[in-house]
Homo-oligomer: A and B are copies of this chain.
Amino acid sequence: MKPYYQDDAVTIYHGEALGLVPLLPLFDAIVTDPPYSTGGMYRGDRMQSTVAKYVSSDTAAPRQEFTGDNRDQRSYLAWVTLWMTAALQRAKAGSVACLFTDWRQLPTTTDALQAGGWIWRGVAVWDKTLKARPAAGQFTSQAEYIAWGTCGPTEVRQLGYQIPGVFRAPAPDNADRDHITQKPLEVMRWVMDAIAPGGLVVDPFMGSGTTLVAAKESGRRAIGIEIEERYCEIAATRCSQEVLGLAL
């Protein structure tokens, strides 16, 4: 396993999550935003070869109606369960898992979390604030969700402050994004609060590496896995800039 990039806090592997997760060192947290598209990403019935492209919930045109054909959702469940099961084997006791999801995949994601052997502890909300597409007479879909849980009993930490369960931060503008589903750094900083300082954070679907930057910046270590080399490059650049104190 040769890293694509490495510094004292961050390691990036260029490769496929399902294959690489079992080879990771023991870690303290898995924080990730898997591709949760609802169509066209599964080739054949081999779920192992799934990660092909990222689709943003932001870019979807009008919402598809629920048709009763759960094929994609079932595959998604199986696939998430696979790598969460693998992750559990490499997780220290008390480790935290944070899985980003949209409203449509939230029930599937909590199922997969539990099917993978993790204890589901709750749902946190990223409120993207209202500026999204207009929807006539319907609740605006302005939130993403984090299904979170632990490996075994919770590790009790006295922080002296409460970690909000709802976090408000606008999504980055198109121009400021390297990746179509890129999260604002503030959101990832918020998530880091739920993880013990100094711990090792794993993101098997790294994308442009916001998780790694937030982890490093907040005194944690991180490992990122990404199948597309161009994102490995972007993330490596962001992490090394962070080294020099240039980020943000």
Q: Which residues of A contact B (CB under 8 A)?
A: 41, 63, 65-66, 103, 106-107, 110-111, 114, 119-125, 127, 130, 132, 134-143, 145-146, 148, 153-159, 162-166, 193-194, 196
Contacts and interface: CB of A to CB of B under 8 A. Distances in A.
Contacts of A163: 135, 137-140
Contact of A138 (B41, B111, B120, B194): B194
Contact of A136 (B41, B124, B156): B156
A148 B137 contact: no
A137 B66 CA distance: 34
Contacts of A66: 114, 119-120
A193 B125 CA distance: 22
Given A65-B119, A125-B127, A137-B196, 17 more contacts: A63-B121, A66-B114, A106-B106, A122-B138, A122-B141, A130-B162, A130-B165, A135-B162, A136-B159, A137-B156, A137-B194, A138-B154, A138-B163, A138-B194, A140-B163, A141-B165, A142-B165
Given A119-B66, A123-B103, A125-B125, A137 B157 contact: yes
Given A65-B119, A111-B107, A122-B103, A148 B139 contact: yes
A214 to B, nearest CB: 16
Given A107-B107, A125-B125, A137-B157, A142 B166 contact: yes
Contact of A166 (B123, B143, B153, B154): B143
A134 B119 contact: no
